[in-house]
Amino acid sequence: MPEKQFRFQDLEIWQRGAALSGPLFALADRLDEQKRYRFAEQLRGATLSITNNITEGSGSTSDADFAGFLNFSRRSVFEVANILLVLSREKALQSVEVSELLRALEEQSRMTLAFIRHLRS
């Protein structure tokens, strides 16, 4: 990994989101193989939005603006969770795999919300 140069690289929520993107992108690749292209595309976009919004917000000049971008990031976490649940209901994913990813997404959501509250206090 390149040397840290940006503020967001030191944020645990960005680091965890970036780590979570690996298995989610791999899952999107599997969805492509299953010819579930729309799901794969939506999953990639929502996954990337988690860290993109943290990154963009970290460049804000105010805590309130940063908190707004973190809210967008958190909403993307929920979008990814929904995609996983829909795929699970369709039996496209194993429930064990979905459960592990949902736990990680829930932790991401909680950490992001805590950081939002910190910025707004």
Q: Which two tokens stand for residue 111?
A: 């950490």
Nearest to 109 by CA among 76, 83, 85: 76
pTM of the model: 0.93
Q: How far apart are CA 113 and CA 29, in angstroms?
A: 29
- pLDDT tens track for 40-70: 999 999 999 999 999 999 999 999 999 999 9
Q: How far apart are CA 50 and CA 77, in angstroms?
A: 6
Helices 12-33 and 95-120 cross at an angle (nearest 10°) of: 150
Specify the pLDDT at position 84.
Answer: 97
Q: Please give the mean pLDDT across all residues of the chain.
A: 95
Other Cβ atoms within 10 Å of 59 Cβ, number: 12
- pLDDT tens track for 90-104: 988 888 889 999 999
What structural domains does the chain harbor? Answer: 7-120 (1.20.1440.60)
